[in-house]
């Protein structure tokens, strides 16, 4: 371990006997543990950290060259080292005149050209210029993709439901389970439905299987000639797109320097733009660009993604935390935990460092969560009284997107603030015994019940507060987490932009598929062969 890591490990041991409640009661704590960027208020006061902690973490960032790696990413250097590619998702939402280079060439003219094409298409769908094969207006777009070609668009369209002003419904199919496509299209009219096939290579197995099933659905209702009016593609492979029956003019390009889980800002976000309108899609890009500028320019101590990423490493490696809970107190953000799960676990769920050696630290949390207040009646029991410390991220808007005068939104905000306070402060045995005695309970019952109600506290959390969830705010939140994950990866010395871990399962599935389909036998190991035989036996019963 390096000197910076050793200093942090020693410091963590010293903090284990310190009460988080005592830290929070410092009247000057907000001066060092709150970050503000426009309307985004990031409260870090409820972390098991002192001024010394932050200084030690910043020393670690300096030792690991976080700012130099950040600058390399913005400069278009191949920070995706195993694939020898830049990672330039920041170019997709670059609303300034600043050029962004990849291999010495400014990528911004190509980015702007695709954005103009997306705007033209969205306008044509909304004003009825684009019609289906029968001349009827499109009323539903169905995005077929998987992974980054699905999770980002689903999350964003759900988050921005109040901005669905175009009258166009957006739906999503990702799972190769036939039920997903069947359920999604069960109440749709083929004559008014348009499919967006989102696949970088136009060769993703699950996506293409669903795309061909959707094509059959359209052809059975409207004929082969209808395909060109009911399908568009987001891809880099014009030949495969054309072979499918989609006019290459209706293919929206993106580039190999856009990773799947960082692609919602690209043409992969076409379904978002159709649902909310292109102007609102641009506002989402603008919000993300604000965070990009902050991450690029702010000094490390004030840099929100840097500080958050460092705190993540602090808990993962010095406190041995295995997971982090994402708790959006906003029903529109109900897909945010799943989105951040992929962003973080696919990016940093790795055991090999850039130099090929095994990591010496833990990497990546298990990221999970549900919207509040639902989670309070589910897993919050474990957060408060379980044996594992789980850092939590709370998200809350000051204003609801659904105005109401019945007090429900105030109830939501109060619950969010209360959960964070309860996790931090807890409730000790003496407090509980006093409350039970005050209620009139006799001493025997107090002694029996009180230990079961103890909450140890000292459970850290971040609260992200903003005026309300709109497109720009959503852009800020997602870009903030992208850069947070990047900082984690730099600290751990891993490539956050590849995903080789998904390859083995795909390879084995292709080998086993003929055996499952019954065209061959004997694929897979003994257990797989046994299970395959049982599948066929059940089918034949």
Report the C-alpha gap between 144 and 146 in whole angstroms.
Answer: 7
Q: Which residues pair with 170 in a beta bridge?
A: 141
Interhelix angle 336-348/471-492, nearest 10 degrees: 20
Q: Which residues pair with 394 in a beta bridge?
A: 327, 463
Report the C-alpha gap between 134 and 531 in whole angstroms.
Answer: 47
Residue with tokens 């009284």: 385
Report the C-alpha gap between 112 and 100 in whole angstroms.
Answer: 12
CA angle 381, 383, 389 (to 5 degrees): 145
Closest by CA to 514, choosing from 525, 523, 504, is: 523
**Active site positions, annotated:** 346, 377, 506
The residues, any chain, with a CB within 8 Å of residue 30's CB and separated by 6 or more, are: 45
Report the C-alpha gap between 210 and 146 in whole angstroms.
Answer: 10
- Residue 402 in tokens: 């659904």
Residue with tokens 């945010």: 336
Yes or no: say if 361 and 316 are a contact pair by the CB < 8 Å rule.
yes
Residue with tokens 């140890």: 456
Burial class (CB in 10 A: 0-12, 13-18, 19+), 453: middle
- The backbone torsions φ and ψ at residue 494, rounded to the nearest 5 degrees and listed phi first, read -120, 165
Residue with tokens 């109440």: 187
- Residue 407 in tokens: 């007090």
Burial class (CB in 10 A: 0-12, 13-18, 19+), 530: exposed
120 backbone φψ class: left, alpha, beta (φ>0; ψ -120 to 50): alpha
The residues, any chain, with a CB within 8 Å of residue 14's CB and separated by 6 or more, are: none
223 backbone φψ class: left, alpha, beta (φ>0; ψ -120 to 50): left
The residues, any chain, with a CB within 8 Å of residue 89's CB and separated by 6 or more, are: 258, 259, 262, 263, 265, 266, 482
Report the C-alpha gap between 272 and 438 in whole angstroms.
Answer: 55
What does 43-69 look like in DSSP terms, one character per residue? Answer: E-TTSS--HHHHHHHHHHHHHTTHHHH
Q: Which residues pair with 462 in a beta bridge?
A: 393
């Amino acid at each position: 371990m390096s000197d910076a890591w050793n200093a942090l490990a020693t410091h963590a041991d010293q903090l284990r006997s310190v009460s988080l409640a005592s830290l929070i009661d410092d009247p000057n704590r907000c001066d060092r543990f709150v970050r503000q960027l426009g309307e985004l208020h990031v409260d870090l006061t409820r972390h098991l950290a002192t001024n010394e902690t932050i200084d030690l973490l910043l020393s670690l960032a300096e030792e690991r060259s976080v700012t130099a790696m950040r600058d390399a990413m913005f400069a278009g250097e191949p920070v995706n080292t195993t694939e020898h590619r830049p990672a330039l998702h920041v170019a997709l939402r670059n609303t300034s005149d600043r050029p962004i280079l990849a291999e010495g060439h400014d990528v911004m003219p190509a980015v702007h050209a695709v954005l103009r094409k997306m705007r033209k298409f969205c306008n044509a769908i909304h004003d009825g210029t684009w019609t289906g094969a029968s001349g009827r207006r499109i009323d539903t777009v169905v995005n077929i993709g998987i992974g980054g070609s699905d999770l980002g668009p689903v999350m964003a369209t759900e988050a921005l439901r109040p901005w669905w002003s175009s009258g166009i419904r957006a739906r999503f199919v990702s799972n190769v389970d036939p039920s997903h496509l069947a359920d999604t299209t069960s109440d749709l009219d083929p004559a008014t439905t348009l499919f967006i096939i989102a696949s970088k290579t136009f060769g993703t197995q699950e996506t293409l299987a669903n795309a061909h099933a959707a094509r059959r659905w359209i052809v059975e209702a409207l004929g082969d000639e209808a395909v060109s009016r009911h399908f568009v593609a987001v891809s880099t492979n014009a030949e495969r797109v054309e072979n499918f029956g989609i006019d290459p003019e209706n293919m929206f390009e993106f580039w190999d320097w856009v990773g799947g889980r960082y692609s919602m800002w690209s043409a992969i976000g076409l379904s978002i733009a159709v649902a909310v309108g292109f102007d609102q899609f641009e506002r989402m890009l603008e919000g993300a660009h604000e965070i990009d500028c902050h991450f690029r320019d702010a000094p490390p101590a004030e840099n929100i993604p840097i500080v958050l990423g460092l705190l993540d490493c602090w808990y993962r490696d010095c406190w041995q935390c295995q997971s982090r809970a994402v708790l959006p107190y906003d029903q529109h953000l109900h897909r945010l935990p799943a989105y951040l799960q992929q962003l973080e676990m696919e990016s940093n769920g790795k055991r090999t460092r850039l130099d090929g050696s095994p990591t010496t630290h833990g990497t990546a949390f298990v990221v999970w969560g549900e919207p509040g207040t639902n989670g309070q009646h589910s897993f919050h029991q474990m957060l408060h009284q379980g044996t594992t410390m789980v850092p939590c991220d709370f998200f809350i808007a000051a204003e609801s997107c659904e105005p109401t005068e019945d007090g429900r939104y105030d109830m939501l905000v109060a619950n969010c603030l209360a959960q964070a306070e309860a996790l931090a402060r807890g409730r000790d045995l003496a407090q509980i015994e006093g409350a039970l005695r005050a209620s009139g309970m006799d001493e025997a019952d107090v002694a029996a019940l009180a230990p079961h109600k103890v909450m140890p506290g000292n459970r850290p959390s971040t609260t992200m507060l903003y005026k309300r969830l709109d497109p720009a705010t959503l852009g800020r939140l997602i870009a903030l987490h992208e850069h947070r994950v990047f900082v984690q990866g730099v600290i751990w010395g891993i490539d956050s932009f590849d995903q080789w871990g998904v390859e083995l399962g795909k390879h084995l599935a292709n080998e086993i598929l003929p055996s499952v389909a019954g065209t061959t036998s004997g694929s897979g190991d003994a257990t797989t062969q046994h299970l395959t035989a049982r599948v066929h036996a059940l089918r034949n019963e």
